[in-house]
Every structure is written in C-alpha cells, then in structure tokens.
Chains A and B, each alone.
Chain A
Amino acid sequence: MKVCSRSDLETLRAKGLSTLYPSRLKVSVGMATCGLATGAAAVYDTLRDEALQRELDLMLVATGCLGYCQQEPLVEVRMPGRDRVLYARMTADRARELIAALAEGNLPTEGALAIIPEEKEPPAGSKPAGGLPRLNELPFYARQRKIILRNCGLIDPTSIEEYIAQGGYEAMAHALLDLTPEQVIDEVLRAGLRGRGGAGFPTGRKWQVCHDAPGQPKYVICNGDEGDPGAYMDRTVLESDPHSVIEGLTIAGYAIGAHEGYIYVRDEYPLAVERVTQAVARAQELGLLGENILESGFDFNITIVRGAGAFVCGEETALISSIEGGLGEPRPKPPFPAISGLWGKPTVINNVKTLATVPVIINRGAGWYAAIGTENNAGTVVFSLVGRVANTGLVEVPLGLTLREMIEGIGGGGLNGKAVKAVQTGGPSGGCLPARLFDLPISYETLTQAGSIMGSGGMVVMDENTCMVDVARYFIGFTMAESCGKCTPCREGTHYMYEILTRIVEGKGTPEDLDLLEEVARWVKMASLCGLGQTAPNPVLSTLRYFHDEYEAHVEEKRCPAGVCRALIRLAIVPDLCNGCGLCRRECPAGAISGEKKKPHTINPELCTRCRICYDVCPVGAIEIVR
C-alpha cells in the first residue's frame, strides 16, 4: 500500500496498535546490542522453543533498549487487560520457568523488577498488584523524562506500524501539509532546541541560515558517527527507534528545502546500520519517503552511508568529506556547512538525538518543549551512565539536574558501594570533574566553565581504583591515534603530551614535567585546526586542575595512589588469607604465581606484569596491590 493521506496513516496506526496491545499473550525481549551482549538471544530462543513445546499461544517480539542496561537481559510480559510485568537479568533457565508459569495462566511476580502500567497516568495513590513498583517509580527512572528515547524498548523497531501507533509520522504530516518551511523553523527556534552532538548550537538558527543560503540543491545529514568511546545513545536510538530519526531528518529537509538526506552510521554499529536500512526501505515502500510525500508535493529521499572507523569523521566537515569519497579530514571553518557543505552546497548536519527530538517539538509545540529544562538549556539530554557506577544504562533527564542527582540518585552511587571520585563527560574532548563539584546543574555552560563539556552524552564514573593520570594518558593516546595528521599542533602536540604522560606513569617524571605538560596542552588547544585538536588537551588540563595531588604523587613520591600504574605497584599474596585454591595460578597470564595445593601461593615479581588479573579472580581477597 501507499500512504497518501492522514487517513492512510490511521489505518497503519490501527495495525500498529493491534501488535502493540494484542488480544493475546505477548512477550518482548530487549534485543539491542547491549541485551545481546548478555545473552538475550539465548533467552529469546528458549522462550520460543519452550512455548512451542507447551503449545502456548504467544506473540514473541524483539524490542530495543529500555535504558536500564544494568538489568539486561530484560523480558516484558503482557497479558491482555493487565499491567505489563518486567523481568530483569533473565536467563535461559528462568525463561523456561516463566513459560511454564504462563502456560498455567499465571503471571509470576517473583523475580520481577517492576510493572509497566497499561494506563498512561494511573490514578494517584493507587498501588499496582503484586506489590511491585511501577517502572517509573524505580530510583533509576524516577527523575527521567523520556523524549528522545520515548519509544526505545517499547516498540518493535522493525515495525513502522508500531512507530505510527505511538504518534509517529504525525509531525511530518503536520509539517508537510499544514506548515510552511518558515513556520517549521520558527517552531524549532522557539522551542530552544540545541544540537545534541556536543557543541549545543541552536538547531533552529542553523536551519534558518541554511534555508536562507543561496545555492541548490541543499542537503541534510544525520550524524550517527558517535565516536566518543563510552557513549552509545545514538546507537540505541538508531537500533531501537530508527523511524524517529528518519522522520526528524525529513522534517529538517522540508524546512531548509533539501530533497536528499544522508544518515552516516558508525562502522562499529552493524545492527544500527541494518535497522536504519530496513526502516528507510520500509518508509520508501509506503511512500513516506520518495516523491510527493503524502501528496504534499514534497520529495525526499535518504541514503545510508556506513563509516569505516575514524573518530575524526564525527566532525562535520570531515564527515562531509568522507561522504564525498575523500578522506575524513576536517577543513577550516568558515564557511560553515550551512553555507557550503556537501559538494559545496548548503547543508544542515545534525546529531541523531537532535533529529529524534524534532517530531516531538512539532507535535507538542515549542512552548511545551521550552518549558522543560532550564532557560537557555531547554529540553532533555541523554547520557550513557557507565564505568564504575552501580546502575549502568542510558538515562534521559531534563537539563538542569545536578551531577549528584544523576550519579548518586539515578546511578545508585559507586560500583560495589565504593565512593565515586570523579566523572568524565564529553569523551576525548571533555574533562574529568571531581566529586566536590557534583552539585553543579548539568548544562552546556556549567560543564564548559568547570573545564569539561557536555559532549554527546558520555558520562563515565570513576572511583578510587581509577588513576586520573592514567585516564589522561588514555585519552591523549586516543586522540593521538585518531588525529588525522593534517595540522601540526594536533599531530605533534598529542605525541608530545603522550610522551610526558608516559614518563609520569612510569615513575620517570619530574615536577618540571607537570609545567611542561600544561604548557603544551595550552598550545595545542589554541593552535589546532579542528575541534579534535582544540579539545584534545581537555582531559589533561582538567585532571591537572582537579587532581594535581595524584600527579604530584607520581612525580615526587613515585607512587600511584589508585594502584593502577604498573611501574609503581607490586602485587603480593597475603599468606594468612590465601587458602591455596590455585585460581590465581591458573589465570595468571605470565605464569608468575606458584604454590602447592591448599598452601599459600607466592608471586614472582620478576615475571609478574602487574596486570592485576589475579587480584580480580581471588575469591577470598588474599591478593593486595602494594602502592
């Protein structure tokens, strides 16, 4: 069928509702990349096989990521007319038990994490059955507000009908049929939406410039390169709700007068590539992309480009050059892409999350959106809360929440109850902020003032077992490898900083090295061509600023307080604690551990590489790191 009108959309919507809320038993398994990494596929297979064997009539669906990755694999069960029940940390064995219970007509609450109420707004004060909390009452979700992630984990990402049932493509229809491009731009402008790719540039302004720019044709590009190692929200949106990005990109195209769009997806995300490709094909098939969309007279098509593993390609001018078939090397700005972008034509380039937000703004209005968050920082941002934190996952919050509410409230504090020492935001372009600054509200400006950046949303939590000097060296090692090499300050400066940091972690650094490091960092920041080089020193400068004592311990006392830097630590077995189980001996990759069964073992320091694997595996904590 071809969708030619709003009433055709209604037909698809009804179809979507019938699979979202079927009149038979439905079981959904979170099968985005993170679910799959913890065995969701085996759970899915078991549920299917077991249901077949028991002749249980059920609709089994693979959904995307609900955000609470810590609890994956997640399985959701919906019995018609009842609240949905969510089960966490599913295993094949528990899947078997679940099917057995369901076959008996039971909906077990034991081992369940929460319920998802069938009604959007259950009556105040009411308690769900079975004594389970509602999903949005769990500490992890209570402060969240889902706009960008609105459908993730709730719909089948391969079903355009379910996306439509959730209100999808309504905004596109409204824009194309009722609004002029200028009105669309005005709405986005008044909403106060700022780019979620890192720099926070007002999206409406960017569109306006491109709209006004002379030159045809114009292009729109979705930046799905997500290079920040430790951030994965763009992947999640592309995998779990690809149509939200397609709809946003189409609206952007309409607003600036482009008929061709590109979605550039990072190479390391094969499932995202697959899902968007499938979604674009489906939208084309239905006429929601292509010529004369919804008989509005507007034509728009989308091409998908797969990246090839280069961080710098996330930078907009490098990304454009990569699509053109050249190397992914940045060029100086201005001219900005909005004036001269792809093939020298006016081009809007926006991040995945920015585009996924657009349909909601068009549907609910600028005023509604602008009221969320704070002044100048409207709306929500998505963070990937990872690292040494109790609850890892994807978190969407209104701007203005404090880091503490984020890390301690939603994240549940440090891993294994350890105290959190710092948080890193903004990836290789960002910085590390110490725990004493956790009362800062999250906004583009506060994070920048504190020496970090918002970035695209990576939030890596660190505790006493993380060495801040080692972290700085890690990031410089990353940018050094990823520098495209076009400009000297970035290419040579990152090498030079890496050398100094290497000296320091090896215990060969001097107090003068700290001054030198800071000086080089400032030069690279000032003199580099593109954002990669200009921001590369941030991890160094922020750790020098907030964790100077750790640097001093390394250069003056030749001591690594976190017990990480290999040259400055030693591993030892405490004889009184060791029961001689031999586990460490078997796992030591260097063959450095010896000992007889049931007798205390010893480590040969000559052979030991200080990898600390033994420290992790010893079941009784008999191995200590001597710093």
Chain B
Amino acid sequence: MPLIPQPPPPAGGALLARLHAINAEYGYLPEEELRRAAEELGVPLSQVYSAATFYAAFSFQPRGRHTIHVCLGTACYIRGGEKLLEKLESTLGVRPGETTDDRAFTVETVHCVGSCSMSPVMRVDGDTYGRLRADLLPRILRKYREQEAGGVSDEGM
C-alpha cells in the first residue's frame, strides 16, 4: 500500500502547542510573544487571542514563583476541597487568580487533576498532594518558602 500523499496540516495543534510553549517559558502570555506567534504561524492575531482567552490553561498576568492549584473537582468538592481553598485564602491573603504580594504564590482552582481517589487534592507546581486537611497546609507552604530561602530559585528571569 503506497503512502497516500497528504497535504501539510494547516495547523495540526500547532497554535495550541505554541501557546503552551510560551506559557511554559514565561508563566503567562506576554503580548509581544503572541504577536510573534501570529506572524510566524500565519494566523490572525485575533485568532491567537481568542484561543488564549478560551482555554483555562493560559493567563495574561505574570504568575507568582509557585502556582497552587486547589482541586474543586467533584470528588474533591464533596470531600472538603473548599475548606482547603478557604484556609489558603486566609493564610496567604489572596483569592483564586491572585498572587501574593511577595510574588511567591499564585492561587488557582482546577476541576480535577486526576487524583480523585486521594481527594481532597492540591497541586503546587508539579507536585500533587493528596488526602489533605486544612491543618496540613502550612507545612506544605513552608516547604516551598524554605526552598527559596535555601537559595534554590526557579525564577528564571
């Protein structure tokens, strides 16, 4: 069976992949990068913007050095995910979507990270914490603060 010649895919997930790459590098989507992406991929800037706003994974605001995702998926919700959020809000003094003044933490909510059997669950950067209770949070936050104090910076700017 010979390979049937196929036209090059117009985008083939390329726009999404590009937005992911920018987001991974900067932690958010800076305007200049979006303009450049539009130019290089040959799509209108408006399309780039509408994709960037449509998907929850992207943000236009610079993030804190650590991003905390509190899971409010069904399993976590009915096992107290909101309590974790409330405790975080009061400990850090921020609401979901906001960043602490020292730019250490951005707090976000998410609908399921796929560890539902361990609910309630929270993710800090790439680390997932399961079977949580509000009173266990300060220790976890301290870990990331100490990491920074220890000179391990992942700021990358």
> Is the beta-carbon distance between B116 and A230 smaller than 8 angstroms?
yes
Smallest CB separation, B76 vs chain A (Å): 8
Q: Which of B83-126 contact A (CB under 8 A)?
A: 83, 86-87, 89-91, 110-119, 121, 126
Is A573 an interface residue when CB atoms closer than 8 A count as contact? no
Contact A33 B114, beta carbon cutoff 8 Å: yes
A617 within 8 A of B: yes
Q: Which residues of A contact B129 (CB under 8 A)?
A: 37
CB within 8 A of A217: which of B6, B12, B113? B6
Contact among A231, A268, A460, A589 for B78, CB-based, below 8 A: A460
Are the C-beta atoms of B6 and A260 separated by less than 8 Å?
A: yes
Task: Tell me if A70 is interfacial: C-beta within 8 Å of chain B.
Answer: yes
Within 8 A of B (CB), among A576-611: 583, 586-587, 589-590, 609, 611
Of B57, B86, B116, which one neighbours A386 at CB under 8 angstroms?
A: B116
Contact with A along B4-18 (1 / 0, CB 8 A): 101001111111110
Surface stretch bound by B, among A144-152, A185-193, A297-305: A297-305
Residue of A nearest to B86 (CB): A611
Number of chain B interface residues as a range: 35 or more
Contact call B86/A393, Cβ cutoff below 8 A:
no
Q: CB-CB < 8 A to B133: which residues of A?
A: 616-617
Say yes or no: A69-B118 contact (C-beta < 8 A), given A229-B74, A387-B79, A474-B77.
Answer: yes
A392 pairs with B83, CB closer than 8 A: no
User: Is there a chain A Cβ closer than 8 Å to B35's Cβ?
Assistant: no
For B4, give its contact among A36, A217, A305, A583 (CB under 8 Å).
A217
Q: How far is the CA of A462 from the CA of B74 in the complex (A)?
A: 11
Please name all residues of chain B whose beta carbon is closer than 8 Å to the beta carbon of A311 when the two chains form the complex. Answer: 111
Tell me how far the C-beta of A522 lies from the nearest C-beta in chain B, rounded to whole angstroms.
24
Q: Known contacts being A33-B113, A386-B116, A460-B75, is A309 close to B13, with CB within 8 Å?
A: no
Q: Are B74 and A34 in contact (CB under 8 A)?
A: no
A306→B90 CA distance, assembly (Å): 34
Residue in contact with A387 in the complex, picked from B1, B75, B135, CB distance below 8 Å: B75
Answer yes or no: B19 CB below 8 A from chain A CBs: yes
- Chain B hits for A228, CB < 8 A: 74, 112
> What separation, in Å, do the CA atoms of A387 and B120 have in the docked complex?
9
- CB contacts under 8 Å to A, within B109-152, are 110-119, 121, 126-131, 133-135
- In the complex, which of the residues A308, A394, A427 has the most CB atoms of chain B within 10 Å of its own CB atom? A308
Q: Is the CB of B118 within 8 A of A38?
A: yes
Are the CB atoms of B112 and A393 closer together than 8 Å? no
Interface mask (A375-419 → B, CB under 8 Å = 1, otherwise 0): 000000000111110001110000000000000000000000000
The answer to whether A324 and B11 touch (CB under 8 A), given A305-B16, A394-B117, is yes
Residue A270 at the B interface, CB < 8 A? yes
Q: Which residue of A lies closest to B72 (CB)?
A: A229
Give every chain A residue within 8 A of B74 (Cβ-Cβ): 228-230, 386-387, 424, 427, 458, 460, 474-475
Residue-wise, chain A 233-250 has the 8 Å CB interface mask toward B (1 for contact) of: 001100000000000000
B150 to chain A, nearest CB (A): 18
Q: A328 with B54: in contact, given A38-B131, A216-B4 (CB under 8 Å)?
A: yes
Asked if B15 contacts A229 (CB within 8 A), the reply is: no
- The complex places the Cα of A231 from the Cα of B115 at a distance, in Å, of 9
A229 and B112 contact, CB distance less than 8 A = yes
- Closest approach, in angstroms, between the C-beta of B109 and any C-beta of chain A? 10
- The CA of A610 and the CA of B148, in the complex, are separated in Å by 34
CB pair B91–A268 under 8 Å, yes or no, is no
Q: Does B157 contact A (CB under 8 A)?
A: no
B16 engages A306 (CB within 8 Å): yes
Is A109 positioned at the interface, with any CB of B under 8 Å from its CB? Answer: no
CB-CB nearest in chain B for A309: B56
B54 near A310 (CB under 8 angstroms)? yes
Residues of B within 8 A of A56 (CB): none
Instruction: Choose among A260, A306, A385 the residue with the greatest number of B CB atoms under 10 Å from its CB.
Output: A306
Chain B 64-84: CB-based contact to A (< 8 A → 1; otherwise 0): 000000001111011110110
How many whole Å from A346's CB to the nearest CB in chain B?
13
Q: Which residues of A contact B116 (CB under 8 A)?
A: 229-232, 384, 386, 392, 458
Which residues of the partner chain B approach A324 to less than 8 Å between Cβ atoms?
10-12
Question: Most chain-A Cβ atoms within 10 A of its Cβ — which of B14, B73, B112, B129?
Answer: B112
Contacts of A305 in B (CB 8 A): 12-13, 16-17
Q: Judge if A163 is at the interface, Cβ distance under 8 Å.
A: no
CB distance from A345 to the nearest CB of B (A): 10
Q: A612-B83, A613-B134 are in contact. Are A269 and B78 (CB under 8 A)?
A: no
A230 close to B121 (CB less than 8 A):
no
In the bound complex, CA of A612 to CA of B134 (Å): 10
Q: Are B3 and A299 in contact (CB under 8 A)?
A: yes
Given A36-B128, A328-B54, A589-B89, 20 extra CB contacts under 8 A: A34-B114, A37-B118, A37-B121, A37-B128, A37-B130, A229-B75, A232-B112, A268-B110, A298-B1, A308-B19, A308-B51, A308-B57, A323-B11, A325-B10, A325-B47, A343-B9, A387-B79, A424-B74, A611-B83, A611-B86
A sample of 17 cross-chain residue pairs with beta-carbon separation below 8 angstroms, ordered by A number, consists of A34-B117, A37-B131, A38-B130, A229-B73, A230-B116, A305-B13, A306-B13, A306-B16, A325-B11, A327-B51, A327-B54, A328-B54, A343-B10, A387-B119, A388-B78, A587-B87, A612-B80
In the complex, the 6 A-B pairs of residues with the closest C-beta atoms, listed nearest first: A325-B11, A229-B73, A69-B117, A308-B55, A309-B56, A37-B130
Task: Point out residues on A near B: beta carbons under 8 Å.
Answer: 33-34, 36-38, 69-70, 72, 216-217, 226-232, 235-236, 259-260, 262, 266-270, 272, 291, 297-299, 303, 305-311, 322-328, 343, 384-388, 392-394, 424, 427, 458, 460, 462, 466, 471, 474-475, 478, 484, 583, 586-587, 589-590, 609, 611-613, 616-617
